[in-house]
Amino acid sequence: MAEPIPYAIASDVLSPSPCPRGPTLAVAITTAICGTQTLGVGYITMSSRLHTQAYRHRTSDIVVTVFKGTAATIYGEQLQHVAVHRPGDSIFIPAGVLHAAVNLSVEEVRAVESRTDPAFSDDDIESLPSLDRTVAAIAAAIQAQYEAGALRRQPSAA
């Protein structure tokens, strides 16, 4: 058996494309790209004030780490919880958890998303467009709270 070797992905060869849920996604690490068997990685860009549709990853856990801008994740079956993320912050979202992302910034948000789906496939995603109006209302409310200084980053749950 061949010895495993690292596989470097240069950012200038990534191909960003619009994601059906709103942001732009550039897939970087998948089984097809480098042979990984356990995880997938992509780079997310969200325009100013954008929010995604509500969706869940059926079988994949995900970790999102923000490196530019300020975002929030709304989550829970009623999208009743809010987590705020600034550069350097990460959020773990277990498989099956309903969530949506909200850009709280006037600048774009950039983040890295890692999934336990090595194909980084949309086949694992269940979008819920029936919640679009709910997500839009919650996003507008938390964006207003953020602009007023009333929405703060939560301490770690550790």
Residue of higher predicted confidence among 154 and 120: 120
What 3-state class would DSSP assign to 17?
A: strand
- For the domain bounded by 17-147, which CATH number is listed? 2.60.120.10
**How far is Cα 9 from Cα 14, in angstroms, rounded to an integer?**
8
**How far is Cα 68 from Cα 63, in angstroms, rounded to an integer?**
16
Grade residue 156 by pLDDT with cuts at 50, 70 and 90.
Answer: low
User: Is pLDDT of 14 > 70?
Assistant: yes
Report if pTM > 0.85. yes
Show the tokens assigned to 32.
């097809």
User: Is pLDDT of 17 > 90?
Assistant: no
Interval 8-36 mean pLDDT: 81
- The predicted-structure confidence for 49-99, as pLDDT tens digits, reads as follows 999 999 999 999 999 999 999 999 999 999 999 999 999 999 999 999 999
Cα angle vertex 8, ends 4, 114, to 5°?
90
Interval 4-18 mean pLDDT: 76
**How far is Cα 86 from Cα 74, in angstroms, rounded to an integer?**
15
Interval 2-9 mean pLDDT: 78
User: Is pLDDT of 143 > 70?
Assistant: yes
